[in-house]
Amino acid sequence: MYAVNDAEHDARATSPFSEDSDSLFDEPQIAMRTAPPIPGLFVAPIRLPLELANDIVQQCMNLYFDGRDVNQIMLFGRTASEHNQNMGSGLPTFLITLLHWLAEMLRDHLPEKVHEMLFPPKDAPQRARQAILNLYHPGEGISPHVDLLKRFDDGIIGVSFGSGCVMNFERVQCQEELFGEAGPLDRNHWDLYLEERSVLVLSEDARYDWTHGIDGKQKDFVSGGIDGQGEPDWIDRGTRLSITFRWLLPGADIVGGPDP
């Protein structure tokens, strides 16, 4: 089961998945280190510089998480053609710095159309951008979901900090597939290891036709070596912070109250 995401709150509120959902006799799934073949899903072959990442984590902890019993923060900004090079005035400076870094570094690693969806040109109409910060302690996760269809547009960027974790992708079944017309080679499930300081982009099918979620586990079973050719390894989770940027749909930003 998955939630066609009613609320990110709900997705985070679920109790952690059982640690040993694989029975004693099941081989655990081995997560890949490179992007699975889901159209519109990209993992850039770059990592945030350690210094930039450490600074962002420190600011997030100081400003939003330390001493508070919260695991999720939502921030909003507006792209403005004359300010901040169209990045998101209203967001804290360190997130605007991060957006600038992402825009520059992703240019060579995304199709132009996708890059433009994420970083519109200076003369593009003003839009509202949401940054959602999620903090996960080892053993915590987020239920499988599709980001709210009525609230968010296409083009989502996710950055991982502090620890890696496996993200699970499940295809949302459409009618033909339920009635047996899916291609026999089509896979409906992929496990991707998101490295610490890595950058993930969800667009098109990956944004609309697949759920994404994180099991609440203490460790992940991941294909070995940088190239994924070695023996798989168990990797312990540390505390992970993720920052996700997405576009609010027109009108969605004026809805009051918590999200949503």
Ligand X SMILES: O=C(O)CCC(=O)C(=O)O
**Would you tell me which residues interact with ligand X (CB under 6 A)?**
8, 132, 134, 142, 147, 158, 212, 242, 244
| Alpha-carbon 46 to chain mean position | 16
57, interface contact from Fe ion, ligand X, none, CB < 5-8 Å by kind: none
CB of 237 vs ligand X, minimal distance in Å: 12
CA 56, 71, 254, 120 torsion: positive or negative? positive
Q: What is the Rg, in whole angstroms, of the alpha carbon atoms belonging to the chain?
A: 18
> Which is nearer to Fe ion, 76 or 97 (by Cβ)?
76
Nearest to 136 by CA among 157, 166, 99: 166
What is the nearest approach in angstroms of ligand X to the Cβ of residue 240? 7
* Residue 158 near which of Fe ion, ligand X, none (CB within 5-8 Å, type-dependent): ligand X
Helix, strand, or coil (residue 133): strand
Nearer to ligand X, 132 or 248 (CB): 132
Type of residue found at 106: L
Which is nearer to ligand X, 79 or 143 (by Cβ)?
143
Main-chain dihedrals φ then ψ at residue 186, nearest 5 degrees = -70, 125
CB of 38 to Fe ion, least distance (A): 14
Cα–Cα distance, 176 to 178 (Å, whole number) = 5
Residue nearest to ligand X (CB): 242
Of 86 and 198, the one with the shorter C-beta distance to ligand X is 198
Residue pair 232/224 in contact (Cβ under 8 Å)? The answer is yes
| Residue 7 CB, nearest approach to ligand X (Å) | 10
Cβ proximity to ligand X: between 11 and 110 the closer is: 11
Q: Which is nearer to Fe ion, 98 or 167 (CB)?
A: 167
- Secondary-structure breakdown of the chain: helix, strand, coil percentages, each rounded to the nearest 5: 20, 35, 45
The residues that touch Fe ion, with contacts defined as CB under 5 A, are 147
Residue 87 interacts with which of ligand X, Fe ion, none, CB < 5 to 8 Å by class: none
In whole angstroms, the minimum distance from the beta carbon of 117 to Fe ion comes to 17
Q: How far is CA 158 from CA 69, 124, 151, in A?
A: 23, 23, 17
CB of 202 to ligand X, least distance (A): 9
Rounded Cα–Cα distance for residues 207 and 202 (Å):
5
Q: Look at residue 195 and give the partner it binds from ligand X, Fe ion, none, a contact being a CB closer than 5 to 8 Å depending on partner kind.
A: none
Q: Residues 207, 155: contact at Cβ < 8 Å?
A: yes
Residue 154 binds which one of Fe ion, ligand X, none, with CB within 5 to 8 A depending on kind?
none
